[in-house]
């Protein structure tokens, strides 16, 4: 189950009943549905009552109790940061899917020295961290420098942070550095040849832009006088006799 958590200053709280259904709108416009856990009402100190909407009764609590959810026309919307719930959030809600987090690029501080890629990465990372996710930048070498900002790791899974029409998202994919080699790569080379059985990707998996780039740099898969070393993104290929390199996501 994937749930996106939101922050709010509201003090309206929904008291959840064991098995009560909920519906949650995500930033992407999708809706997720489920039921509250048997002890979900342990988040609050109130009682559950049905109301005219066949839902939960909103209850105003003291300032020292963080808001958890509110009743809306669309169902239950979660409103509290994961870290405010501690371990309970992971137990009851599951972890947020990074690919479900969409942020609109804030250009309010744009000036001559403003860098859209740095701003987009920072803004998406803040949104992800508010849901309790830990984000680590793996590499700034990205497949598409016109749209991508960085490759990040979230709970061990790699994503490319990309911007399209000012919408910042995380695209799930396996990221690698391709290094075109002429001759011997040296004993310190890190990775595998793209056509070897041990290689994590094959030439056929590459997109047209990457195969065109390889051809322009003298690579022919039928007559590989030059060959391609595949290295996980963020790691040093450590190769000598390198002709060119490029980041890809498969």
Please tell me the distance from the alpha carbon of residue 85 to that of residue 94, in angstroms, as a whole number.
12
Q: Could you say which DSSP state residue 50 is in?
A: B
What is the tens place of the pLDDT at every residue in 213-248?
Answer: 999 999 998 888 899 999 987 789 999 999 999 988
For the cut 60, the answer to whether the pLDDT of residue 37 exceeds it is no
Mean pLDDT (whole number) for 25-48: 41
- Beta bridge partners of residue 209, listed in sequence order: none
Per-residue pLDDT at 15: 36
- Give the SS3 label for residue 40: helix
CA dihedral 235, 238, 241, 247 (to 10 degrees): 0
Per-residue pLDDT at 115: 93
CB atoms near residue 125 (< 10 Å): 24
For the cut 70, the answer to whether the pLDDT of residue 25 exceeds it is no
Per-residue pLDDT at 26: 42
Per-residue pLDDT at 198: 87
- Beta bridge partners of residue 161, listed in sequence order: 150, 170
What is the tens place of the pLDDT at every residue in 173-226?
Answer: 777 899 999 999 999 999 999 988 888 888 988 888 899 999 999 999 888 889
Per-residue pLDDT at 110: 81
- Cβ-based burial of 184 (10 A; exposed 0-12, middle 13-18, buried ≥19): exposed
Please tell me the distance from the alpha carbon of residue 100 to that of residue 95, in angstroms, as a whole number.
11
What is the tens place of the pLDDT at every residue in 39-93?
Answer: 333 233 233 333 444 444 433 333 443 344 443 433 344 444 444 444 333 333 4
- The model carries a pTM of 0.47
What is the tens place of the pLDDT at every residue in 95-153?
Answer: 577 888 999 999 988 877 899 999 999 999 998 888 778 899 988 878 778 899 998 98
Per-residue pLDDT at 95: 59
Per-residue pLDDT at 2: 28
For the cut 90, the answer to whether the pLDDT of residue 24 exceeds it is no
């Amino acid at each position: 189950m994937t749930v996106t958590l939101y922050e709010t200053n509201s003090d309206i709280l929904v008291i959840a009943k064991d098995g009560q259904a909920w519906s949650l709108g995500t930033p992407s416009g999708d809706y997720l549905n489920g039921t509250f856990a048997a002890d979900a009402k342990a988040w609050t100190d109130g009682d559950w009552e049905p109301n005219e909407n066949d839902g939960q009764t909103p209850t105003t609590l003291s300032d020292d109790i963080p808001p958890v959810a509110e009743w809306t026309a669309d169902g239950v919307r979660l409103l509290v940061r994961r870290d405010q719930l501690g371990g309970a959030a992971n137990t009851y809600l599951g972890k947020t899917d990074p690919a479900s987090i969409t942020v609109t690029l804030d250009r309010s501080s744009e000036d001559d020295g403003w860098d859209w890629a740095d701003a987009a990465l920072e803004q998406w990372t803040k949104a992800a961290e508010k849901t309790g996710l830990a984000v680590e930048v793996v590499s700034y070498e990205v497949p598409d420098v016109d749209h991508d900002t960085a490759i990040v790791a979230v709970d061990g899974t790699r994503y490319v942070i990309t911007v399209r029409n000012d919408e910042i998202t995380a695209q799930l994919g396996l990221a690698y550095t391709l290094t075109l080699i002429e001759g011997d790569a040296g004993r310190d080379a890190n990775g595998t040849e793209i056509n070897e059985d041990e290689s994590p990707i094959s030439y056929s998996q590459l997109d047209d832009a990457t195969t065109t780039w390889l051809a322009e740099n003298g690579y022919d898969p039928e007559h590989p006088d030059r060959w391609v070393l595949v290295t996980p993104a963020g790691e040093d290929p450590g190769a000598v006799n390198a002709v060119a390199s490029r980041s890809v996501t498969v």
